[in-house]
Structure 1
């Protein structure tokens, strides 16, 4: 039986993994490229040629220095603008107030060339005074070397005469979140405000939405990559009281930080029960209980939420060997009741981990 190999006469799926490091923290973003079209699609430099003749299960990887893949950093994209150019926006009826280090859609800025009110491409707020703000519209990874691996998940012969649409795979994998979990110039992001930890209804227990089965397996697989069978592990979820006794090598939080009004206090108490070098793993998805979630969680992009948890870990002294992971656009199980509603896409999952210093 002939193997199907990557060439202009096939379509298929590629698993893209983007790895990078900043401020000593390692990050890994996984993204499933569906309906890959070797004829029309745009690949990172050198990748299309390297994939030629490869089969299912094989992969290629390239490390790209700044400007070789991610759009280069331009000083002209760092703009100091009058504060009244920042459109007044609300979320869940609450005003969105600018905060240093946070990301916002460029559509929030009035009068930018080729930018419209519904433009979601992010900018980072890097300066703020009573009269002006600084908007850095460069890509969050513009100054960071990135390694991109493409692994062939499956291939099938192209339908005769069918060429499909065009996908720019660097944009698909890198442009809608990766890099937003970092600090700006090593300074803490100004996440917190007086209402950040407010909860709409404190009188009920959190009821975290269930992840789909594929997302649960993905999160478990990420945990298994950093845990070993001999570890003493305590697992917590939104329904578990964050109190503990005994000594542990790792504590796993699954969909918990969305609902904690004193996360740093909880982590500090956890640290007292962790063995030297003990780990904290925090996993979450892209849905939450809207009646019990803290307000600040709803204000953040999903990748910024990883940055928030990193900040919690730093303040609790649990940020040793810190890492973040994301996994997006994976297949949802075909027997899942929401398969058609979600167009077969599994829930995105995110994980942050750190060690006791």
Structure 2
């Protein structure tokens, strides 16, 4: 007889997959996070979760809704303040002077001494709401302070702990919601200022096709992150649909069962050598979107357009998004996916200076401006990196993944 599957007791630890869902005026949002070494008797968990998990095994699920201010600090009017503009320190980043922009987030360290400001705190913890002459209005509230949160948990694994539970006392909601979630939404419904004059400049403005043909490596995404992306794509790719994969590279992240589901794939990229690796497309299209941002494809000819690890290097993203909208059938979707690393010479200047979650906000703004609706964002963070991944010696965690989707009305 086999031993019974372990269940959560004080003598066990667990891996728990959390999903936090919330809504802004612009989109629906999901934050996926793997909590590792969860100990029921030690950790701070959402109200009701510890009781629900006691005595359960892998596969058990739980969910609950919480009003604003229950899980993260609520909105406090006193945390919105008008302060002198000159408290924003003069800092040069890549040779450019950093200027406060409405809707953007900045680390506390960019503010000079002021009551209540911890200048040594490096988190992107305050938001600039408005800049007017010699004054600016800033918001120190948590980015999710006004949001109702739905929290779902799934036990992925239960295993015996070894020895006494030691170490810090983790607050898992704080772990999930700090340093990012909420930053992709607008402030008070007003568009974020993602339009400095240098926004689309690239350090290497040379020919992308020549760059691709030379010695270079594609942006790496580990196997765990690729699995998350395949799952996101599988949820969008209905059986028999027509998919356009733009800026396609060496590694394909399409679901492995696309052939079985009758999904018809067209890959558009810089060179046939890249396009022919790791995919079974029905059609290859060689095209450089930075030389000519127009998509050389018929109107309303696709159900799904994918852009993976490439949006950050587009020199004319508005034109590419307009093209994606044009080639999609009504009800078709566009999915833009990226991680936290990129090809340094080819990334656009604004993208390089943004926080990961602000980058989702940037994609959202540009999608909405192009005419997309039904927008959603999703993030995946804190999974372990596979032991056989070539970057395991550098980074122990799996690459974070961020996906923004929009629908053609």
Taking the TM superposition and a 5 Å limit, the aligned residue runs for 1:159-178 are 159-178=162-181
Gaps of 5+ in 2: 250-268, 270-287, 290-294
Map 1:69-80; keep pairs closer than 5 Å: 69-80=71-82
Counterpart for residue 32 of structure 2:
30
* 2:6 corresponds to 1:4: yes
| Residue 47 (structure 1) shift | 1.7
Structure-2 residue corresponding to 1:64 = 66
* Residues 93 and 145 of structure 1, relative CA distance in 2, 3 Å threshold: same
Q: Deviations over 1:32-58 (max 9, x none)?
A: 111222222111222222221221111
- TM-score normalized by the length of structure 2: 0.83
Alignment of 1:1-357 (within 5 A): 1-23=3-25, 25-112=27-114, 113=116, 115-205=118-208, 208-237=218-247, 240=269, 241-242=288-289, 243-246=295-298, 247-318=301-372, 320-343=373-396, 345-357=397-409
**Aligned equivalents of 1:162, 1:156: Cα separation in 2:** 13
Over the aligned positions, Cα root-mean-square deviation in angstroms equals: 1.6
| Distance (whole Å) between structure 2 residues aligned to residue 281 and residue 305 of structure 1 | 14
The whole-number CA distance in structure 2 between the counterparts of 1:151 and 1:342 is: 25
Larger deviation, residues 197-206 vs 227-236? 197-206
The more displaced of 182-191 and 37-46 is: 37-46
Inter-partner Cα distance in structure 1 for 2:175 and 2:74 = 17
Q: Distance in 2 between matches of 1:32 and 1:152?
A: 10
Aligned length: 355
- Whether the 8 Å CA contact 2:19–2:32 is kept in 1: the answer is yes
Q: Select between 197-206 and 147-156 the one with higher mean Cα deviation.
A: 197-206
Distance between the aligned counterparts of 2:351 and 2:108, measured in 1? 20
Distance 1:24 1:114 in 2: 30
- Structure 2 distance, partners of 1:333, 1:69, is 32
CA contact (8 A) 2:21 2:31 kept: yes
Shift of 1:263: 0.6
Instruction: Say whether the 8 Å CA contact 1:45–1:68 is kept in structure 2.
Output: no
- Are the counterparts in 1 of residues 381 and 400 from structure 2 also a CA contact under 8 Å? yes
5+ residue gaps in structure 1?
none
Q: After the TM superposition, which of the residue ranges 117-126 and 193-202 deviates more from structure 2?
A: 117-126
Which is bigger in relative contact order (C-alpha 8 A, separation at least 6)?
Answer: 1
Deviations 1:169-191 (A, max 9, x none): 11110111111111111111001
1:151 Cα offset (Å): 1.1
SS of 1:272's equivalent?
Answer: helix
Task: Give the greater-gyration-radius structure (CA).
Answer: 2
TM-superposed CA distance for 1:283, in Å, is 0.6
Aligned-pair CA distance for 1:114: 5.8
Deviation at 1:164, TM superposition (A): 3.5
Taking a change above 3 Å as real, the CA distance of residues 192 and 114 of structure 1, as seen in their structure-2 partners, is: closer
Contact 1:208 1:238 in 2 (8 A): no
**69-78 vs 264-273, which moves further:** 264-273
8 Å CA contact retained: 2:40, 2:54 = no
